[in-house]
């Protein structure tokens, strides 16, 4: 996601169909207001959630949305799909415009459940999912066969996948019971957890994400339910 930020002359030109050369006069006349402040400089940038007014008309007044969803299995991580129920279809209490503005922060596979984040803040999601950020994602994994310490050592070392010519970042694996493990990743390669366990010929029966960074899935949310993040949660993650 790219940050949606434009120079004020370009922004007004796109919104109102006015020649960019004429916008300098509008600015000089004090007809453009951003967040309550009269703007006169043509180089002023308009950010994604700035309130922009021109001649008293509101051109933009977008509120940031940050949503936590307990994704059930069988629901696709997409905003639109002609065949499956999408995660956006599960959201209640939002306007059509709000729902259409959302994008998914770190998708989950069709048969993976748990914490899924949605937002309309592209800068926030980009920062969260950047490989450089190395934000931890915590998963509980149920497997067909028993586990042993060889798994922990292999995950901690990283695994080479020849198809993409990559070696996974070190991952933490904690054995919770004979065939259940907690896995902590700092990346999200294609079907990464299933493929890593596939090296041991141990099929994944169930996969559930319980945390992203410091944000844990709200235990009060049943599968399919969602809520807005608190300001503290937004900032902490």
* Residue 89 known to be catalytic: no
The catalytic position among 109, 146, 150, 218 is 109
Show the DSSP H helices in the chain as ranges: 8-16, 20-28, 96-101, 122-129, 149-157, 192-198, 231-236
Helix (H) or strand (E) run with residue 228 in it: strand 226-228
Cβ proximity of 50 and 4 under 8 Å: no
Rounded (10°) angle between helices 20-28 and 8-16: 110
* Displacement of CA 97 from its chain's centroid (Å): 18
From CA 114, how far away is CA 108, in angstroms rounded?
8
Positions marked active-site: 109
């Amino acid at each position: 996601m790219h940050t949606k930020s434009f120079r004020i002359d370009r922004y007004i030109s796109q919104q109102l169909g006015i020649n960019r050369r004429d916008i300098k006069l509008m600015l000089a006349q004090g007809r453009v207001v951003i967040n309550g402040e009269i703007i006169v400089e043509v180089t002023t940038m308009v950010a994604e959630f700035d309130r922009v007014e021109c001649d008293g008309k509101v051109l933009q007044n977008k509120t940031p949305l940050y949503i936590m969803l307990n994704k059930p299995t069988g629901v696709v991580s997409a905003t639109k799909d002609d065949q499956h129920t999408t995660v956006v279809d599960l959201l209640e209490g939002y306007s059509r415009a709000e729902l259409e503005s959302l994008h998914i922060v770190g998708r989950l596979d069709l048969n993976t459940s748990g914490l899924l984040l949605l937002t309309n803040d592209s800068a926030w999601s980009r920062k969260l999912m950047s490989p450089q950020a190395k934000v931890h994602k915590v998963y509980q994994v149920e497997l067909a066969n028993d586990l042993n310490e060889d798994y922990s050592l292999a995950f901690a070392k990283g695994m080479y996948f020849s198809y993409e010519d990559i070696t996974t970042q070190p991952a933490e694996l904690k054995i919770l019971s004979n065939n259940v493990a907690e896995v902590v990743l700092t990346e999200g390669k294609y079907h990464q957890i299933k493929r890593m366990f596939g090296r041991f010929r141990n099929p994944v029966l169930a996969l559930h994400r319980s945390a992203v960074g410091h944000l844990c899935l709200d235990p009060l949310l049943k599968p399919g339910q969602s809520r807005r993040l608190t300001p503290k949660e937004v900032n902490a993650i």
